[in-house]
Chain A
């Protein structure tokens, strides 16, 4: 008899995938395409999405994928994990904005890169985010 994994268990597995992708980004000698691939893997892991789900969504846009992620989490909600990453202030912020910002800042901090808020907001797709991070590494003006 197979036991269905709880949402927490599935999220924990996804977190391992994210860690693996981040390790590649930090230590791997990646060209641009390789970098893009690992940023994509990291993003999908963080958003708890599969490639098939992305293809079905038909988009590379971070906010739209974040929305798909939120919907998936709500559909799969069980009592194994507290869902909300939190509306962190009583200020009408959207869950999708929070997901995108957390993703971007996590990658920026991990890679020692610092983008302005406006520059970050204009990185709308996984590819744009990956390219911006790839190009910013080692540049003084983007150093954290």
Chain B
């Protein structure tokens, strides 16, 4: 499998410990004592004790599921303060693998650290130590070097998640299935206008594939006879694939509290997921998006009897950010949320439900929701203020990690005629759960971030694109005004990760819009 899972990515941190020892016995402004304390052997033993204590703190602060702590490198220098090439070369060994150098000192070789950092050009960090940390941070930052000083080890622990998330974005490749354009889709023109900015700003690469070629090859047809690529071997489904598809289909149906669809129709959606993953594997991608209405209009989804909904849900559950409607802005936002939260994300159409003059603004009774269901939910919400609804048809069965046991779910169709498997989830079971949401704006310059608390579901018993979650925010009017510039779909994850998402946005050079 060539799908590089984000969960396997670690931040490579190399401990770098620099020592100053004294060759000669003397006292002076920065050195005083008597007897043994002025000898070289004492200095070196003190440095060893200092390193041991510091390294133990560093190890405890670097969680193994975030950081790959590399072997420490140590250099000692005497009071001539002379930096030799061999010192820099020793420190720089293996630097191509390093994402962050973590600096510790015994005494004051600050210039050595600076010269090294300027040579290798990698980010460095330090935890507060009297004199040393402020000297180092100022000498680095004033010269434009990337440097992270932490007041306390706990701050370092938290920020490693943010730095790792940045690496995840850099290591990500989006499989973007296109139909009308490769920038924004007809249904999500509020997405990122220039996809090249995604690569320029975050390092995330894109691989484009024709949605028609993708649809052709989600079939058991002869791989040499696909319509769009005649005579070229395709990634068509095989008899071997069908065994896995059958197994997954049965698992999904058997694990559901209710399944309203025929097995045949569920299987068609699973075939879509399987085919998409073959493309992800071949293209070495770990994120996915595909247009919906744009593709719907070709009538091919109707012909094939599947929608993309189940594929997105299953991808997200497996740690592959997957977004509806070719919304690249939502996809990159999901990637950020999943990289920070280490859990699946959801996305949907997002709008506020304000109360004005004691009356709640009507929820849409057409297209997605039945009038009866709307009335019931309106009554359930009562006079709750600052309510927001996010709804689509791509919920997950797990919300707090990528290996959580599946929570109760149902399976219902998207299309009234019975195709297009979607999961349904009762968000009211998680009433009171804090959620974090974010969305990048179309210019790829701003990041909207907000938190909410789950109230209840919308659409569990319904079909179509109607699976929603009502949640309360600090101020829905503020939320609405700030959302206006970033777009409709609002990705979210369970848990309070607002601070770290903001830190990630700042690290990536985005202007934070916090509602």
Chain A: residues with CB nearer than 8 A to chain B?
63, 85-86, 88-94, 97-98, 100-102, 104-106, 109, 116-118, 120-122
Contact = CB atoms under 8 A, between A and B. Distances in A.
A88 B44 CA distance: 13
Interface stretch (B48-56, B57-65, B503-511): B48-56
B292 interface: no
B36 A121 contact: no
A117 B129 contact: no
B47 interface: yes
Interface string B21-46: 01000000111111011100111111
15 contacts: A86-B33, A86-B37, A88-B37, A89-B107, A91-B106, A92-B105, A92-B131, A93-B106, A94-B53, A97-B50, A100-B49, A101-B42, A102-B37, A105-B42, A121-B52
Given A97-B53, A121-B48, A88 B130 contact: no
Contact of B45 (A63, A89, A90, A104): A104
Nearest to A118: B48
A120 B107 contact: no
Contacts of A121: 45, 48-49, 51-52
A100 B37 CA distance: 12
B44 to A, nearest CB: 5
B45 A105 contact: yes
A84 to B, nearest CB: 10
A91 B37 contact: no
A125 to B, nearest CB: 14
Given A86-B32, A105-B42, A117-B44, A92 B49 contact: no
Given A93-B46, A93-B106, 16 more contacts: A85-B37, A86-B37, A88-B38, A89-B30, A90-B30, A90-B131, A91-B105, A91-B107, A100-B49, A105-B36, A105-B41, A105-B42, A109-B36, A117-B48, A120-B45, A121-B51
Nearest to B74: A118
B265 to A, nearest CB: 65
Contacts of B22: 89
A118 B55 CA distance: 12
B108 interface: yes
Contact of B36 (A91, A106, A122): A106
Contacts of A106: 36
Contacts of B440: none
A97 B37 contact: no
Interface centre among B32, B105, B129 (most CB of A within 10 A): B32
Contacts of A122: 52
Nearest to B43: A89
Nearest to B44: A117
B259 interface: no
A98 B46 contact: yes
Contact of B32 (A88, A97, A101): A88
Contacts of A120: 45, 48-49
B170 to A, nearest CB: 35
Contacts of B43: 89
A80 B459 CA distance: 82
B73 interface: no
A49 to B, nearest CB: 20
B48 A90 contact: no
A89 B33 CA distance: 8
B31 A101 contact: no
A82 B191 CA distance: 71
B20 interface: yes
A58 B431 CA distance: 48
